[in-house]
Amino acid sequence: MNFPQIARQVIDKLGGKENIATLAHCATRLRLTIADESKIDKAAIENIDGVKGQFSTSGQYQIIFGSGTVNKVHAEMAKIMGGESSASAQAAAANVPQQNIVQRLIKGLSEIFVPIIPAIVAGGLLMGIGNIFTAKDLFQEGKSLLDLYPQYQDLASLIDTFANAPFVFLPILLGFTATKKFGGNPYLGATLGMLLVHPALTNAYGYAEAIQNGTLQNWNILDLISIEKVGYQGTVIPVLIASWVLATLEKFFVKVVPSVLNNLITPLFSLFITGLLAFSVIGPFGREAGELLSSGLTWLYDNLGFIGGGVFGSLYAPIVITGMHQTFIAIETQLLASTAATFIFPIAAMSNIAQGAACLAVAVLNKDAKTRGLAVPSGISALLGITEPAMFGVNLRFRYPFYAAMVGSGLAAAFIAYFNVKATALGAAGLVGIASIRAGDWGMYAVGMAISFTVAFIVALALGMRAKSQA
């Protein structure tokens, strides 16, 4: 693919550089803020090499290229635009209607978590590999692989260390991205994260045991306040709140402190005050909130069973359309930290498999070369966990495959919920996602994928033939 040419074509069909206020990308899509969307030549964009779909939502215009391709197109566009958008485009974009609080929350969480997904996925997949060594009954009843082959103990320990690192030091990653998102110095945010996981603190995973044994130590500050010396490894909510406080304080001090003292006073007071609040107020509150969230979601899933799983599975794809699925990253990370398992990942996988199957059904039903050329790679991509090309480029365009995918996803999700299938890590939610699934649940996960694919494919074929006969 000629990426410089593609970039020039995209910019031209979007109305030129002067019509583009901001340029960013996620795993599969260009995310643009456009000054005047009426200037976009949507039909021409559809015919640009590599484009798999486009749509506008929540003040952003998004063009789907797919994983790997979007990075290269974005890089070429950034070169052409010189890294800056015109002042007139920024001014015009400022007049775009403000997003509501839910949209801002979703966008904010996306911008905080998307940059760290590779680290979480790498750790998650390594954790899945580590589970192979320690899971009992996998190769022999009552025994794990390490019980059978103890010579692999050090290898398993090495993998476990590598796998846990992104989760143990998660506050450092989140401190960096969250503080940057909130307008503060990201390196101060990373330092805040380091404070929260300092080795001198009682490890968060041993907090309950330390309280029970009476070994938890406190800081007694001037005999006025007592603060628990406990870390926040693997937590989400405390560091998000603390990062917002840090960025807010930093911006305040920048305004009031004389510029000659700014480099000394601002970081000192911002970090010290935030750290004090983090350990005395924010941390304890955030830890309890995270535990309640995890316990509540787990209780709902365990008690609603296959009915709740089926409803969630059916609605997962519509949730993706709204963008609210971005918030699930934060919830799943909290679930993994609190309960070492998440039910959201397997259900997301059922939805992705169904979208891929329905998309492939479109390829079977259509003889048009362009449609088939888009549907086949998009369907395969969805089976591997990247659904945007299939969902936005094919299924929503024809509608019937999208409905078929909802049916297949709902039935498969109900099935895996009935058997309480959960993941112990994050990764690509699709065929290869089995590496993230709890070792004892692999069989039911595989059956769930088969149900999702078969039902979605057959229902899409049926609906598609019916649509053709009525045309």
Residues marked as catalytic: 26
Distance CA 68, CA 26 (A): 10
Tokens of 447: 């059956």
Q: H or E stretch including 163?
A: helix 153-168
3-state DSSP call for residue 20?
A: strand
Strand order in the sheet with 60-64: 20-25, 29-34, 60-64, 53-57
Contact 144, 134 (CB under 8 A): yes
Cβ neighbors of 270 (< 8 A, separation 6 or more) are 184, 188, 246, 249, 250, 253
Query: How many angstroms separate the CA atoms of 70 and 27, rounded?
Result: 7
Distance CA 343, CA 449 (A): 15
Q: What separation in angstroms does the CA of 272 have from each of 153, 173, 242, 243?
A: 42, 19, 12, 13
Half-sphere exposure of 219 toward its Cβ, with a 13 Å CA cutoff?
12
Dihedral angle sign, alpha carbons of residues 60, 120, 66, 21: positive
The angle at the Cα of 254, spanning 197 to 180, to the nearest 5 degrees, equals 45
Q: How far is CA 298 from CA 214, 234, 330, in A?
A: 29, 18, 15
Q: Which residues pair with 53 in a beta bridge?
A: 64
Helix residue ranges, H only, 169-282: 170-181, 186-196, 207-213, 237-256, 259-277
Cα–Cα distance for residue pair 459/257, rounded to 1 Å: 65
CA atoms in the 13 A half-sphere facing the CB of 325: 21
Tokens matching residue 189: 């945010």
Residue 138, sorted as left (phi over 0), alpha (psi -120 to 50) or beta, turns out to be alpha
